[in-house]
Amino acid sequence: MEIIKTLLSRRRFLQASGTAGAVGAAALGSGGVLTALKPVRAQAASPPTYHATKITKSICHQCPARCGIDVYTTDGRVHAIYGSSEHPISNGKLCPKGPLGTYILYDPDRFKGPMKRTNPQKGRDIDPGFVPISWEEALDTVAGRLNTLRDKGESHRFALCFGRGWGASCAGLLGPFGKLYGSQNVPIGHSSMCSDGSMLSKAATDGNASYSAYDYRNANMLLMFGVGFLEAFRPYNNNMQVWGYIRGERVPKTRITAVDVHLNTTLAGADRALLIKPGTDGALALAIAHVILTEGLWERPFVGDFKDGVNRFKTGQHVDPGTFEEKWVKGLIEWWNIELKDRTPEWAAEITTLYERDILATAREFGSTRPAIALFERGVHAHSNGILNGMAVHSLNALVGSLFAKGGLMYQMGPSYGAMPVKEDDFMDDYAKSGPWKAQPRIDLQGHEDGYLIAKNMLQEVGPNSLAGKPYKLDTVMFYLTNPIWTAPDGRAWEDALKEVFVVDTSPFPGETAMFADLILPDHTYLERLQDAPTYPFQGWPMAQLRVPAIKPLYDTKYFGDTLIEIGKRIKGRTGEYYQALGDSENVIRHLAKGFETDPGDNGVDSFDSWKEKGVWYKKNYKWRQIGGAFFEWDGKGYNTPMTAEQVKKELFKTDSGRFEIRSGKLEHHADWIAAKTGRDKDKLMFPHWEEPQHPGGGDLYMVTPKAAMHAEGRGANLPVAIANFQPVLGGRGTVYIEINPKTARERGIADGDLVRLKSHLGSIEGHCRFFEGCRPDTVVFPMENGHWAMGRWAKGRSPGHCGEITVNQSDRVTGQCSYYTTKVSIERA
Amino acid sequence: MAKWGMVIDLDKCTGCQACTTACSMENNRLPGENWQDVLFYHEGTYPNVKLMWFPRPCMHCENPSCVSVCPTKATYKDPHGGFVLMDWNRCIGCKYCQVACPYGVRFYVDEKAPVQPDIRTVFPSADGRVWDPPYRGPQDDPGRGIGIQPHGVVSKCTFCYHRVSKAPAGIADLDEDIPALKEYVPACVRTCAPKARFFGDLDNPESTVNKLIADKSGVRLKDETGNKPQVYYLSGGAAASVPSLRSMTPSDPA
């Protein structure tokens, strides 16, 4: 009764003034009340007729998903955003972030044109003294620095770091720029600070360095490890559409088990919620695999079987490899013998703190329900043992045969884009081909023995490495849609690094990195841009969206793609000629669209103009499917064309063996290096296996800082409506709490709502805590999007402060994954 | 004439609050002035904890207690469609309706803003309204509580009257998945990704909303008040659920 009473009588804004107060105010005639007595305005007889409302088909920018949106503009004012009905991801719907896009356009804190710094001193809370300059001056300044570096043979000291790349007309232009200009540091993506741990786990096992595409609607069970399916997992909007179907309409209802470290909406909505100890998801996956094998639940047509059909997987017992015939997997028996035979639910219960009965029930359900998908993201792999955890979870997909199956998972196909207007290879001068820059390693030591040999990118290392001068110091760095001073762990190192580097930021908004910038070259906001964006991994079949401007730019801003092209035109020699020939970003997009002329989309899009009108090109059939352990290609009518093992290797399992490698050839190739850097056993490091994670920070509680539904890809912090509704489980109305288990709090003399201090050896932050029984006693949880100091007026200084201040910069040495959720902190009353 | 009603299928609701933000932007609400809110609550002890949520719009009651207490007839039941609306030209801001409403869905914003700095000072109004954001929608109908309110009045959900009232006559359901109808659908229903919301004519026996209420045992919140809400909930025990009258925790006496 208390709950319902409290919730339902919660009258927002009715604070000190109760009933009596309200009457009193009316009687006394406080200003607002009297004003209301006179009519507001002559009221129209019928609802007013609007001037023509224009609907522009565009795409959202508030997460990677790329939902199609209908942008409503009346009298030059953008006033509403809804999902596009004709768009395969949004289907007319939106997540809570989508409608807030109008606010992003009209954000009063936006940069309004190019600016340069006049205060040579840089630091947190030091006014940069930005003054407006012309685009000519801005572009000439960047190009001048770049030309000078190139003349000195130091072009590698220019780096361009990017976060949310969208398509060929922005991020796609960066690679050629690096090649022509001569810098291996153009570009450095943020993938290691995103979710490379999952890409590399997949690359190690099935050969695809990519996120997966999923066929959730046909699955009968989803086993989710640390994905925040109903909070942050992309495409969030479509995930919820899926959820409504599989949980509310589908017969049979799809079973869901969700594994995470605190109770969130995904766990609340699941059939089974497993509150696991941070960093131990791999142990759970190993135990599930153990049960699937001992109880004979694996998918024989895909995995293979014992030659005589007798199951020899007995706990603790060695299996003779000669007795088993593997089909599409490699190394199963070796895995069993070296690791899995002892990984019982009882063992995993000890490691994960879960109940043995829950592990067993999960394993049996997952092993006996087809089709089933095991999906995972950062909760699993943002730890020092991330690659092992990721491989262990992904191997479950192999055991139940869900790779490329109906109701399983696959990889995303690219769109039928036309060729770029010109080829960069035709414009390579001698410097580009063999200049002194070629002898240098990347600044982040990606691909280098001293750094991260196998990683894709190591953005989190750029600042610290430049600061240390190892391998060298950067001269100039440019940022596109990334704000590493704030998003990197231990951002203080970045602040020191960027004090001594010429910084160019291209964000339309103020941010922490922008405050260290020497030049601001602001991009349009997304409702003002023409920008292509092939789909993020979705359902596998190809799709390419187009962001179409709803209105002309409000301010003197420039699309990043054009900023880059204009800088390129100012680079001396052949590079400049290439960019002259490229023209501008619209020319690039027009050339991309030429590919649709010969391969029109299902919705009839066959040209630049029709793409712009509809906002999306797609073709709904995925090309390949695994059915009962055999692979087939789509022939226009069905999956009828059988594939050879060679074709499967070329298109699907891109590994040495052409199979799903539980014994990873990719890791085996680098066994010496991995063993040297991680101390792992050379005979075991290529198999998914259990290893205790390393938790830096010096505290006694795990600090986990998830993204919440309202976190709008970097701008959620400055959206008042988002702030008002952030962290609904505990907070809201502008207040965000640190979740703490009451027992943990009481042991430390902390009361519900107390101001507390979280400390790691890097420093401390303060905020109010809230008791939450859905939080593990060994863990504190709060969303990451707080504590900005330069993001805008609403974002400034929001409690409980920024987790990056106390998050240690530790990465998985194999995947390069930045381990955001692995620092341990202590908590005390402030 | 239709009697518009909403059905919210709690088995499908994901607690994402898109209804809240879509409503907020469509109707130009202030941050925290959540005409359509989602309430979260939890019970139990680790690791046996239950987290639940409950989406809550105005119930547009058949027998609304807010209307009966209003001394100026500023809040009224529209006979054409069954909307409970506000006439801002009559409201004196006495807040009786806020107190009388059993559901807590009426708002008085002339108070300290929950999110600071106060957005009303950033986007002030030139013509006596509480604010004027640059993304303000074109609809303005103060006699029905549509658009941005003047100071000193109560605001509330209109069931998106400015959209619904333009729907073709005689239609049974306003289904956002039918392209020809989507512009008439309330913002919270139109945007709902898991399709947990349905909007239709409760007086039309053919309507999907009636079928859902019948087939899935729709219930009304706090039916004991006699307010007879025109919003029904379907609940099969998922995390989104109608708050129970009895607590599950013994220490929390019912």
Exposed e or buried b per residue across B182-214, where buried means at least 16 C-beta atoms within 10 angstroms of its C-beta: bbbbbbbbbbbbbbbbbbbbbebeebbbbbbbe
My answer on whether A317 and A397 are in the same domain is: yes
Question: The domain spanning residue A821 has which CATH number?
Answer: 2.40.40.20
- In this structure, the strands spanning A115-116 and A519-520 are antiparallel
Give the residue from A566, A583, A600 where a domain finishes: A583
Prior bond of A371 cis (ω within 30°)? yes
pLDDT at B182: 96
d(C-alpha B84, C-alpha B73), whole Å: 12
Residue A621 forms part of a structural domain: no
Question: The domain spanning residue A217 has which CATH number?
Answer: 3.40.228.10
Least confident of A388-402, A588-602, A731-745: A731-745
My answer on whether A446 and A486 are in the same domain is: yes
Give the nearest partner residue to A96 out of B21, B40, B129, using CB atoms: B21
pLDDT at B235: 86
My answer on whether A248 and A382 are in the same domain is: yes
A405 touches A256 (CB < 8 A) = no
**Residue A519, phi then psi, degrees to nearest 5:** -135, 140
- Pick from B103, B219, B88: which is nearest to B147 by CA? B88
- Per-residue pLDDT tens digits for A707-728: 888 886 768 899 999 999 998 8
Q: Which amino acid is at A186?
A: V
- Taking all residues of chain A, what is their mean pLDDT, rounded to a whole number? 93
- Per-residue pLDDT tens digits for B59-69: 999 999 999 99
The answer to whether residue B87 neighbours chain A at the CB level (below 8 Å) is: no
Q: What is the DSSP letter of A21?
A: H
Tokens of A86: 């004709």
pLDDT bucket at B214, cuts 50 / 70 / 90: very high
- Taking all residues of chain B, what is their mean pLDDT, rounded to a whole number? 93
CA distance A411 to chain B (A): 24
Residue A154 forms part of a structural domain: yes
pLDDT at A35: 40
Half-sphere exposure of A375 (CA within 13 A, CB side): 26
pLDDT bucket at A147, cuts 50 / 70 / 90: very high
My answer on whether A254 and A169 are in the same domain is: no
SS (H, E, C) A439-485: HCCCCCCECCCCCECCCCCCHHHHHHHHHHCCCCCCCEEEEECCCHH
Residue B136 forms part of a structural domain: yes
Q: Which amino acid is at A631?
A: F
pLDDT at A19: 36
**How far is Cα of residue A497 from the mean position of the Cα atoms in its chain?**
25
- Per-residue pLDDT tens digits for A796-812: 989 999 999 999 999 99
My answer on whether A764 and A707 are in the same domain is: yes
Contact: A2, B133; criterion CB under 8 Å? no
Least confident of A131-135, B41-45, B186-190, B236-240: B236-240
pLDDT at A26: 36
B253: three-class secondary structure by DSSP: coil
pLDDT bucket at B253, cuts 50 / 70 / 90: very low
Residue A775 has pLDDT above 90, yes or no: yes
Residue A363 has pLDDT above 50, yes or no: yes
- Pick from A410, A397, A399: which is nearest to A301 by CA? A399
Residue A223 forms part of a structural domain: yes
CA distance B157 to chain A (A): 14
Report, as an integer, the average pLDDT of A100-111: 97
- Per-residue pLDDT tens digits for A339-353: 999 999 999 999 999
- Per-residue pLDDT tens digits for A632-672: 999 999 999 999 999 999 999 999 999 999 999 999 999 99
A235 touches A89 (CB < 8 A) = yes
Residue A247 forms part of a structural domain: yes
- Per-residue pLDDT tens digits for A397-441: 999 999 999 999 999 999 999 999 999 999 999 999 999 999 999
A714: three-class secondary structure by DSSP: coil
Q: Which amino acid is at A149?
A: L
Report, as an integer, the average pLDDT of A92-98: 97
My answer on whether A493 and A566 are in the same domain is: yes
**Exposed, middle or buried: residue B45 (CB in 10 Å: 0-12, 13-18, 19+)?**
exposed
d(C-alpha A814, C-alpha A664), whole Å: 13
Measuring CA to CA, how many Å separate B23 from each of A81, A352, A400, A720, B138?
Answer: 11, 42, 43, 14, 15
Print the domain residue range for A305: 212-411
How many other β-carbons are positioned within 10 Å of the β-carbon of residue B79? 9
Contact: A728, B89; criterion CB under 8 Å? no
What dihedral angle (degrees, nearest 10) is formed by the CA atoms of A88, A90, A93, A94? 170
Chain B partners within 8 Å of A94 (Cβ):
18, 22, 191, 193
Q: How many residues does chain A have?
A: 830
- Pick from A461, A415, A284: which is nearest to A362 by CA? A284
Residue A21 has pLDDT above 60, yes or no: no
Residue B134 forms part of a structural domain: yes
Residues 6 or more apart whose Cβ sits within 8 Å of residue A679: none
d(C-alpha A215, C-alpha A540), whole Å: 9
pLDDT at A711: 84
Residue A303 forms part of a structural domain: yes
Residue A336 has pLDDT above 80, yes or no: yes
Q: Which amino acid is at A818?
A: C
d(C-alpha A731, C-alpha A745), whole Å: 18
- In this structure, the strands spanning A763-771 and A701-704 are unpaired
Residue A67 forms part of a structural domain: no
d(C-alpha A155, C-alpha A575), whole Å: 13
d(C-alpha A329, C-alpha A655), whole Å: 11
d(C-alpha A830, C-alpha A764), whole Å: 10
CA distance B203 to chain A (A): 25
A319 touches A390 (CB < 8 A) = no
The contacts found for A653-658 with CB under 8 angstroms, 24 or more apart, are A653/A206, A653/A207, A653/A328, A654/A206, A654/A207, A654/A208, A655/A205, A655/A206, A655/A207, A655/A330, A657/A330
Report, as an integer, the average pLDDT of A459-479: 98
Q: What is the DSSP letter of A526?
A: G
My answer on whether A711 and A823 are in the same domain is: yes
pLDDT at B252: 46
Residue B96 forms part of a structural domain: yes
**Closest alpha carbon within chain A to B103:** A8
My answer on whether A251 and A335 are in the same domain is: yes
Residue A216 has pLDDT above 90, yes or no: yes
Residue recorded with tokens 């089909």: A327
Print the domain residue range for B156: 18-188
pLDDT at A148: 98
- Per-residue pLDDT tens digits for B66-89: 999 999 999 999 999 999 999 999
pLDDT bucket at A50, cuts 50 / 70 / 90: low
My answer on whether A707 and A823 are in the same domain is: yes
What dihedral angle (degrees, nearest 10) is formed by the CA atoms of A568, A574, A577, A582? -60
Half-sphere exposure of A340 (CA within 13 A, CB side): 28
Q: How many domains does chain A have?
A: 3
My answer on whether A304 and A451 are in the same domain is: no
My answer on whether A183 and A140 are in the same domain is: yes
pLDDT at B245: 55
- Pick from B75, B71, B70: which is nearest to B156 by CA? B75
pLDDT at A263: 95
With vertex at residue B246, the alpha carbon angle to CA B242 and CA B251, rounded to the nearest 5 degrees, is: 125
What dihedral angle (degrees, nearest 10) is formed by the CA atoms of B178, B183, B187, B188? -10
Residues 6 or more apart whose Cβ sits within 8 Å of residue A296: A311, A313
The answer to whether residue B6 neighbours chain A at the CB level (below 8 Å) is: no
Exposed e or buried b per residue across A205-219, where buried means at least 16 C-beta atoms within 10 angstroms of its C-beta: bbbbbebbbbbbeeb
Touching A: B residues 137-196, CB under 8 Å:
137-143, 146, 150-153, 162, 165-166, 176-177, 179, 182, 187, 190-196
pLDDT at A20: 35
pLDDT at B240: 76
d(C-alpha A711, C-alpha A96), whole Å: 9
Q: Taking CB atoms and an 8 Å cut-off, how many pairs form between chains A and B?
A: 324
Q: How many helices (H) and strands (E) does chain B have?
A: 7, 9
**Exposed, middle or buried: residue B166 (CB in 10 Å: 0-12, 13-18, 19+)?**
exposed
Q: How many domains does chain B have?
A: 1
Interface probe with B: pick from A2, A6, A13, A264, most Cβ of B within 10 Å: A13
- In this structure, the strands spanning B231-234 and B4-9 are parallel
The answer to whether residue A728 neighbours chain B at the CB level (below 8 Å) is: yes
Residue A99 forms part of a structural domain: no
pLDDT bucket at A29, cuts 50 / 70 / 90: very low
Question: The domain spanning residue A171 has which CATH number?
Answer: 3.40.50.740
Chain A partners within 8 Å of B96 (Cβ):
19, 22
A394: left (phi over 0), alpha (psi -120 to 50) or beta: alpha
Interface probe with B: pick from A725, A771, A791, most Cβ of B within 10 Å: A725
Half-sphere exposure of B141 (CA within 13 A, CB side): 18
pLDDT at A714: 65
Residues 6 or more apart whose Cβ sits within 8 Å of residue B178: none
Q: How many residues does chain B have?
A: 254
Tokens of A295: 């109880």
**Closest alpha carbon within chain B to A728:** B40
CA distance A11 to chain B (A): 5
Tokens of A184: 């291996």
- Per-residue pLDDT tens digits for A280-317: 999 999 999 999 999 999 999 999 999 999 999 999 99
d(C-alpha A567, C-alpha A107), whole Å: 28
d(C-alpha B86, C-alpha B67), whole Å: 9
Q: Where are the alpha helices (DSSP H) in chain B?
A: 18-26, 65-69, 96-100, 119-122, 161-164, 187-191, 208-215
pLDDT at A22: 37
My answer on whether A280 and A324 are in the same domain is: yes
The answer to whether residue A263 neighbours chain B at the CB level (below 8 Å) is: yes
pLDDT bucket at B248, cuts 50 / 70 / 90: low
**Residue A661, phi then psi, degrees to nearest 5:** -100, 100
Instruction: Provide the edge-to-edge strand list for the sheet that holds B231-234.
Output: B197-201, B4-9, B231-234
